Amino acid sequence: RSEWVKTKIDENVGFVILSHENPLNPLSAGFVEAIYEQCKQLDEDTKVRCIVLKGSSKAFAAGADLKEMLPLTFASISETRYIEKNWSYFSNIQTPIFAAVKGFALGGGCEMAMSCDFIIAAEDAKFGQPEINVGAIPGAGGSQRLPRFIGKSKAMYAILTGDMIDAYEAEKCGLVAKVFKNEEFDDKISSIAAKIAGKSSALARLA
């Protein structure tokens, strides 16, 4: 669903913007593939030295597309590599990439943000792995990455209760690098990206 993914290059910074017709950006398999393909294209563009992955003003992504997933059986998910395909590829991107999160980053949205190098949040951001509330568990890396970000105890609490983590708590426990007020968020994102893009691209990739 490439029409739901907008890209632009500003100086040496590539922006990938999730623009689903639903502002909560539900993550279907095709949508995730389109997001990854755009990130990959920017990764292969030698002019691009930093990639910013961002969503709408309402949500980075509020989770997987449950309408698509409900009819699927465990066998069909396994056979088609529904979760492994594309979801796991974001960590292969060598150009520095960070998630810019306003609003909800839940379930698959939180997992996608964590697969980036780091996360910058607006003050209204909300993170979480609420899969347990819909009869599932975090299947795209959430059960593995979240403990690495915030430790076992907080991660298990979040996964087992399904409770959301607000932006300032997320910064305090290490899930996000910085939190900015909504009105300055876009300017700060551009400033951080420009700073990274101004470094040696070879060293940034190695780092």
Active site residue 111: yes
Q: Active site residue: 63, 103, 108, 128, which one? A: 108
Catalytic residue selected from 62, 111, 128, 155: 111
Of residues 64, 99, 155, 158, which has the active-site annotation?
64
Identify whether the C-beta of residue 123 lies closer than 8 Å to the C-beta of residue 77: no
- Containing H/E element for 127? strand 126-128
Query: What's CA 146's distance to the chain center, in Å?
Result: 13
Beta strands 165-166 and 118-122 are unpaired
- Please tell me what DSSP assigns to residue 162: -
Q: How many CB atoms lie within 10 A of CB 183?
A: 9
Please name the residue ranges forming H helices in the chain.
29-43, 66-69, 74-79, 108-114, 142-150, 152-161, 167-172, 185-197, 201-206
- Choose, from 131, 140, 141, 197, the residue flagged as catalytic: 131
Distance, CA of 190 to CA of 63 (rounded, Å): 25
Q: Pairing state of beta strands 97-101 and 118-122? A: parallel
Active site residue 108: yes
Active-site annotation, residues: 64, 108, 111, 131
